[in-house]
Amino acid sequence: MSKKLNNKEENHIFEKEEQISQIPKDDYKETGPGQEESKKLTTLDLVYSAILGVLGGFISSLIPFSLLIKVWYPLTGGTQLVSGHHVIWAAIIYGITRKKKNIMVTMISKGLLEFLLGDPWGLIIIFVNIMEGFCLAGGFQLMEKLGEGETKLGWGIAGGLGNFFQAPFFWIINQRWHLHFTLWILAFMFAFISGILITGLLGRAIKNYLIKAGVPTTF
């Protein structure tokens, strides 16, 4: 009797599998990591981007972190040592969503808020945020190809690349040609170091803390 029951169960499972295989793929959605659908932005992705973009916009506009540096390093270019906080929000959003599109959405929303809050650079600040997001996304793309997408090294380098753009851009716009070239190099080095430490390593630590705290991820 048990053998007959087993045969019936096997036949029933086989029939079910046949029925499922005959359903057109358009009628159901495959899920799980690696599926194309997982690359699309979800409502939760957009909510995360909006929250972090608003936080970043308010902090970048209203909290003068550069004053902390000027107290003990008043020389030209020293403020670049804390400039990584402008891009950390994009690193965090990438960590909890694993979507580079979210980096761009977060930085655009951050730039728009900075513009609305009266940033002295006007519309240029939106362009700067977009370019920083693009450089950060490119950094993560490069690190993933090198197999360092989730390591401290990978996040550090990606963060450094993401934060580097704004330093030469603003120095050229401000026409600081009269300054010695060593100050230019020093400012660019500070920007890259700040990107490594604040955008990359601190961003990675915050991302890990949020995931451990139970914040839902979308990957």
pLDDT in tens, 41-61: 889 999 999 999 999 999 988
Give me the pLDDT at residue 173, please: 82
Residue 21 lies in a domain: no
- How many Å is the maximal CA-CA distance in the chain? 95
Range of the domain at 198: 42-212
Q: Is residue 31 part of a domain?
A: no
Of 86, 80, 79, 99, nearest to 56 by C-alpha is 86
Residue 195 pLDDT: 93
Q: Is position 8 within any domain? A: no
What pLDDT shows up at residue 186? Answer: 84
Give the model's pLDDT for residue 187: 83
Query: In the prediction, which pLDDT does 130 show?
Result: 94
Return the axis-axis angle of helices 88-97 and 152-164, rounded to nearest 10°.
Answer: 140
Please tell me the total count of domains within the chain. Answer: 1
pLDDT score for 4:
45
Cα(86)–Cα(90) distance, integer angstroms: 9
Is residue 35 a part of any domain in this protein?
Answer: no
Mean pLDDT per 10-residue segment, the chain (219 residues): 48 50 44 48 92 92 75 70 89 93 94 92 92 94 90 94 87 78 84 92 94 89
Q: What is the pLDDT of residue 71?
A: 67
Q: Does 25 map to a domain?
A: no
pTM of the model: 0.77
| Nearest-angstrom CA–CA distance, 119 and 201 | 28
Domain of residue 95, CATH code: 1.10.1760
What pLDDT shows up at residue 119? 87
CA R_g for the chain: 24
